[in-house]
Each structure stands twice: as structure tokens, then as C-alpha cells.
Amino acid sequence: MKMSVVGTGYVGLVAGACFSDSGNDVCCVDVDENKIKRLTQGEIPIYEPGLSEIVERNAKAGRLHFTTNLEDAIKHGRLIFIAVGTPESPDGSADLSAILNVAKTIGKNMDGYRVIVMKSTVPVGTHKKVMAAIAANTDQPFDYVSNPEFMKEGAAIEDFTRPDRVVIGTTNPAAADIMRELYAPFMRRDERIYVMDPASAEMTKYAANAMLATRISFMNEVACLCEEFGADVESVRRGVGSDSRIGSAFLYAGIGYGGSCFPKDVSAFVSMGKDLDLATPIVAAAQEVNKRQRERFAQRIIDRFGDDCGKTTLAVWGLAFKAKTDDIRESPAIEGIKMFLNKDMKVRAHDPEAMQVSANELGTDVVMCKEEYDTLDGADALVIFTDWPKFRTPDFDTIGEKLSQRLIFDGRNLYDPSMMATRGFEYVCIGRPTIAPR
């Protein structure tokens, strides 16, 4: 099947690569000439496990192409996926300007029937605006499909090729059949395709992310209470998560969610309610709790050193908002480091993938270290922001020897508190009593 993907960001590139890997002829288009040049040369602008291999394989096979010519891409594909950004506006709403510009261009350059598929996350009701923008610029027939993505950064290939579900929002059964055919290679064991109207499909995406964000924020509120009462949030999580009505997913206490999806989508959810003069207090509270949780962890570290902040050096492990990605958008680590710098604390940091983009954001005030143990040189404490696998089983002897004091602040609850006490560390984590060394 010939198809085009407009936008080679995280969603568009993964979708285009995976669709080409299932035998489709895919043309990916982007206005960023440098990005397209890099992709044409085999360079992947984002870090996502497994993505570079799929892009390389299908580019060599001639099934995956990259261009900056949107008009040519529109003529190439029977299906045209829109996967451009919808950044957060100052008022929290989603900025649809890029979406609508693409829709107008599609309308002007269609030379026959097309299925226009919205892969970007857009506010409920956007389908009407996009369809109107296309129809105002063409006499050609087309169908519109809302097809929200549900990929997790760091596991996007697995999520795309083995999806929990595929949501198809359309009122035309024929368009739904085309989408079923497209997703058939990823549905070998059982079909998990849900067809509904476009508005319901748009709402499904926001409702899912708002629910997951709420669970995270709920557990972080529980963690704050656990710290005050001396309870262990991990024990509480296991007890609560064993309830079949609740389950254990997204009940881990930590330093809050980040990235490109949850913060933006939660803000848009709240904004949609405000536009209708309809309060959304549960989701708004989840948003506020998340903001407070990030600041609270960093402030605990600042308070620990007090008047000595200006004499303190911190070793930081992890800069990306989560493991297996180089994405620092809304990263608790970046926000925390900025708070440390405002208190004149020195920071030495390491991340397996996100150091270059973090250096661009933080400047020369932070020393970026090639290896995680290099951050410990001259440091007074270790701060863990991201749960990269290699941070889970470190050499504690080396950590203890290099730090000026055996002090670890763990924002991901990676280690067993009693084990840390036995190793002689003061261990400060989330939702559990601070452990003193034995």
C-alpha cells in the first residue's frame, strides 16, 4: 500500500518505519531540511531502541523514502498520515496551526481519493476543523480517520508492532476496512481494533493519558503521606496493586511524569474543560501534584545542605525524563538541576543518551561526564533522576569511595533501603523512611 507520513518527529518516524517494515511503500516528509538530510544518510535524530535498524533495513529495500516536498508526498500516498507537532500554547491549549496548514496543503494538492489519517494528538473536535480545511481547498473525495498513537518512549517499536489496541475513528465503514488491512500484520494473534466516531477516538487518547497521569500523581500523594508517617510506599503499592479492580501499573512513586505526552495532554484536557466552562478538578489536581512532586524532591536535597549549598557538588545520574530515550522535554532532572544551580550548587551529570541535548539546555554550568562514575569525583552526594538499567546494579564500593560522604538521593526507588543501610549509606528515597547507615 502506498502511503505518506507528514512529520518525522517521534510519532511520525516510528509509524513510517514500522509501516514500511510490514511491506508498505512509505514516503516520510518534513519541513526540516537538516533532519531529512540526516535521515537520508541513515542518521536517526532521536534515540529509540530498534528504530535505526528498521529505518536502515527498509530504506535499503526501497520501501522507506524521505523528502521535504510535501506536494510530492501527497501525490505519492493513498493514505496520508498527519503526525506534526501540537505544542502547548501559553494558555495550556494545543496549538493546531501546523495541523491546519498541512490540511490546507493536502486539499490543494490532492489528485484523487485519499484517506487522511490523524496520528497527532489533537483536541476533541479537531476532526471537524481539519475536514473543513481540506474540503475548502479541493473537489476531490476523501475520508478522514482519527488514529491516535499509544506508544511509550523507549518501547515504541514494541508498542507499535504489538499494540494493546488500535483506535480507528471514522464514520465510513470502507475507510475502517482500509485501516484494518493496514494494521493486519500487527494483529496476528487476535484483533484489538476498536472502531468509533472521530470525536470518541480523539477523547480516548486524552482520557487514557489523563488516567495514567492521575494514577502517578495519586501514588505520589500517597508517598508524601508515607514519608510523614514512616510507612513504606512500596509495601503500600503492592497491597493496593494486588486488588484486581486497581492493578499495579503506573502506581510507582517517584519524581513525577515528564516527556512530550503526559504534561501536554493533561494541560490540553484541562484547557478543553475551561473552554466549555466545565471544571475538571481531578485531572487539574493530578497536574498540580505532579508539579509539586518534582519541586519537592529537589527542595529536599537543597534543604539537606542548607547554608552549605554554595559549597556543595552533586553527582547526577540521569537527565532524560525516563530511561531508553534521549527526550528531556518536561524532564524532572532538568528542572531539578536548574533549582540546584539557582542555589549555586555545582553539578556533574551523566546520561547514556541525553547529554548533548541536555548540554544545549543547561549550558556550561553543568559538567557532562562520559561515564557515570566520573560524576562522583569531588561530589558530596549522588542524585538519581532516571531509572536507566545500568544504574540499578552499580558498584556501591566505588560510589562510597568517591563520594565525600556516603549519601544518595534516589528519585526512582531503585535500591533496597536495608541493603543500603548495611552498605553504610544514608539513603533518601520517595515515600519511604530515610535510612541511616549502620
CB atoms within 10 A of CB 283: 24
* Annotated domain spans of the chain: 2-195, 241-428
Structure confidence at residue 438 (pLDDT): 78
Model's pTM, two decimal places?
A: 0.91
pLDDT reading at 260 higher than 90: no
CATH 3.40.1190.20 fits 241-428, yes or no: no
Q: Give the whole-angstrom CA distance, residue 433 versus residue 263.
A: 29
What contacts 438, CB < 8 A, 6 or more positions away?
Answer: 421, 422, 424
The mean pLDDT of 190-218, rounded to a whole number, is 95
Catalytic residue among 18, 28, 226, 261: 261
The mean pLDDT of 100-126, rounded to a whole number, is 96
pLDDT reading at 280 higher than 80: yes
pLDDT reading at 362 higher than 80: yes
Q: Do domains 2-195 and 241-428 have the same CATH topology?
A: yes
User: At 93, is the pLDDT very low, low, confident or very high (cuts 50, 70, 90)?
Assistant: confident
pLDDT, tens digit, 9 for 90 and up, residues 393-427: 999 999 999 999 999 999 999 999 999 999 999 99
pLDDT reading at 173 higher than 80: yes
Cβ-contact 28, 5 below 8 angstroms: yes
* CATH superfamily to which 2-195 belongs: NAD(P)-binding Rossmann-like Domain (3.40.50.720)
Largest CA distance in the chain: 77
Rounded to the nearest 5°, which phi and psi values hold at 150? -130, 40
Active site (annotated) includes residue 261: yes
